[in-house]
């Protein structure tokens, strides 16, 4: 059973100024550590390569100085930035578009893309966080530069590993709403919904969904959904057909009045859940497994053929006809998601606004109600160390 007082916390990089020190920030991390009496330190997981983090110090940002934060253990994961990922995915897409390639050409293209290396880095971050919470009972603070890309990836993967609830269809929906939508992942910029800076485009959500797929390949009975569900979610991230993934933050979605003017994608996917259900799923086995402990050695990773092999993608079967009962359940799900967005904070997994939160429009509004089922035994603390 997971230690109930170990927390997974998230923020952006420290803004300590040119003095290189912020006593308020040091006191806050001390408070996070003291909230878990079972440990006398916390892990700080910087998801960036160390050289990238060091470069930010020239602007008074960067990472925590362990000489000042005596209660932390700092770890760098080495997930590359959005520009590297954008280039890597394009190379992978080119591999998937090859028709009848030779084995050497295919393997060279896959290796040259570097894509699986990046997927491994993200999965390694989630594994580190999950093991710290589950095995050591230690709280973890996760950040990158801004806290909305690599941080979302690492925390989401950790939640999948820690809690069987997030391996269900409804659980993954709530996880995306919590860690991506409510925490301000820049959907419009990252997936080119509008004419903007092409340098802002990057497959951040794609990589998270692929990490989930890689896990489902290792644990085929632990996930209620199949790869078709993951592909459908990804398709709607780009499609703009629904309002769920429009805008870069909650403020933008409120200003556009998307709740009144657009439909949510989740009830539609819930209606079609018959085609998204994994026939191998065993709920009792998933519960008894508890924390997933994947093998992250390089030979365990594979190309996601169902998504990237465009040349041989099978035809999609027509969706099944829906009964009035199914439509009623879909409406109930939409109401549950609305309640999660508007309800009071509380339950096993909830968010706290810390003193280092800047006046930022990306403050999350979604809390998890234990009556809705599941919920991670660790709580998520958000704090913005710098105004974006």
Closest CA to 364 of 10, 5, 44, 27: 10
For 225, which DSSP code?
Answer: B
Sign of CA dihedral 110, 113, 118, 119: negative
The runs of H, that is alpha helices, within 97-226 are 103-113, 115-131, 150-162, 169-176, 187-190, 204-218
**Is position 99 annotated in a ligand binding site?**
no
**Is position 176 annotated in a ligand binding site?**
no
Alpha-carbon distance of 339 to 325, in angstroms, equals 21
**Is position 147 annotated in a ligand binding site?**
yes
**Is position 248 annotated in a ligand binding site?**
no
Alpha-carbon distance of 294 to 131, in angstroms, equals 11
Alpha-carbon distance of 251 to 328, in angstroms, equals 30
**Is position 81 annotated in a ligand binding site?**
yes
3-state secondary structure 266-310: HHHHHHCHHHHECCCCCHHHHHHHCCCCCCCCHHHCCCCHHHHCH
Pairing of strands 8-11, 380-383: parallel
Angle at 276 between CA 186 and CA 127, to 5 degrees: 55
Helix axes 150-162, 115-131, angle to 10 degrees: 60
**Is position 82 annotated in a ligand binding site?**
yes
Active site residues: 144
**Is position 328 annotated in a ligand binding site?**
no
Q: Which amino acids are annotated as binding site for substrate, given as ranges?
A: 81-82, 144-150
């Amino acid at each position: 059973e997971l230690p109930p007082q170990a927390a997974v916390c998230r923020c952006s990089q420290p803004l300590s100024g040119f003095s290189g020190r912020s006593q308020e920030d040091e006191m806050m991390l001390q408070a996070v550590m003291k909230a878990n009496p079972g440990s006398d330190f916390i892990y700080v997981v910087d998801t960036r390569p160390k050289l990238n983090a060091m470069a930010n110090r020239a602007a008074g940002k960067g990472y925590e100085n362990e000489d000042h934060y005596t209660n932390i253990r700092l770890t760098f994961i080495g997930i590359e930035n959005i520009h590297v990922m954008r280039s890597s995915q394009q190379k992978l897409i080119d591999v998937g578009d090859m028709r009848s390639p030779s084995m050497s050409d295919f393997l060279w293209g896959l290796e040259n893309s570097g894509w699986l290396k990046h997927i491994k880095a993200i999965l390694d971050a989630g594994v580190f966080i999950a093991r710290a919470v589950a095995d050591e009972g230690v709280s973890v603070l996760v950040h990158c530069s801004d806290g909305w890309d690599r941080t979302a990836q690492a925390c989401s993967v950790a939640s999948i590993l820690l809690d069987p609830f997030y391996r269900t269809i409804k659980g993954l929906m709530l996880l995306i709403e919590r860690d991506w939508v409510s925490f301000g992942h820049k959907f419009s910029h990252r997936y080119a919904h509008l004419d903007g800076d092409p340098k802002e485009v990057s497959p951040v959500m794609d990589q998270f969904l692929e990490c989930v797929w890689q896990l489902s390949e290792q644990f085929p009975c632990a996930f209620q959904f199949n790869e078709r569900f993951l592909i459908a979610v990804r398709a709607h991230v780009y499609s703009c057909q629904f309002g769920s993934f429009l805008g870069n933050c909650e403020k933008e979605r409120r200003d556009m009045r998307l709740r009144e003017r657009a439909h949510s994608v989740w009830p539609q996917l819930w209606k079609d859940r018959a085609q998204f259900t994994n026939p191998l799923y065993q709920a009792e086995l998933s519960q008894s497994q508890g924390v997933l402990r994947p093998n992250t050695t390089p030979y365990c990773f594979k190309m996601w053929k169902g998504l990237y092999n465009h040349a041989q993608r099978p035809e999609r079967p027509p969706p099944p006809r829906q009964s009035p009962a199914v439509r009623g359940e879909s409406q109930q799900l939409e109401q549950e998601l609305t309640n999660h967005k508007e309800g009071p904070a509380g339950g096993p997994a909830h968010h706290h606004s810390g003193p280092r939160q800047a006046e930022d429009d990306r403050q999350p509004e979604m809390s998890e109600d234990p009556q809705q089922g599941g919920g991670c035994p660790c709580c998520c603390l958000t704090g913005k160390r710098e105004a974006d």
